[in-house]
Amino acid sequence: MGLVKFIKTLFKPEKQEDRMKKFLIVGLGNVGEQYKNTRHNIGFDVVEALAEKQNVSFEPAKLGAIAKFRFKGRAFVLLKPSTYMNLSGKAVRYWQTKEKIAIENTLIIGDDLSLPLGSLRLKSKGGAGGHNGLQNIQDLLGTSQYPRLRFGIGNNFSRGKQVDFVLGKWKDEEKDKLPNRIDKAAEAILSFGTAGLQNTMNTHNGHATDK
């Protein structure tokens, strides 16, 4: 191979086919020790569990921490934004652009008060539902049409205590149920990348008692 031809291969544009095999998986949460093991950080917990299963580690990067792996011919980029929840869209937009990942291949994982503890709900689009992280992502991407995996945290709080509940630590009886449901969420992410959105919705959406 001649020198000129070799140099051209280094700057060869990424094929559309290759782009469709790359996925950005964003676990929402807040950075800092005080937020570890809180309900609002379940997105972090899910992508951390997936990274551990794939034997990869998160490394500090711009606007977050990144871990990468390949699975069944697909490339997965895991992101934990370091912008704090309310500015998550900055990190999502940056890494979506940097990695040249299509919006339909960008999956956001976050907590949801409207779902029972451990329930999983994968959707192709939707509103923010009062979730500040999702709202910022929607604002900065300019659309609400991106896939999201909602992880139920329940709503067992008294009137006026919603913020305390969301930012609070898991109770012991809740902790016992989490490992299995986090594993299911990690499986759903891999299925999203390999089997597709619709198939994954059919097989993984449901309450903790369903599957």
Q: Which residues are catalytic?
A: 40
* DSSP class per residue in 83-128: S-GGGHHHHHHHHHHHTT--GGGEEEEEEETTS-TT-EEEES----
- Secondary structure (3-state) at 3: helix
The span from the CA of 89 to the CA of 75, in Å, is 22
Of 21, 54, 191, nearest in space to 120 by CA: 191
DSSP-derived pairing of the beta strands 74-81 and 64-71: antiparallel
C-alpha distances in Å from residue 126, one per residue of 35, 104, 130, 133:
26, 13, 12, 13
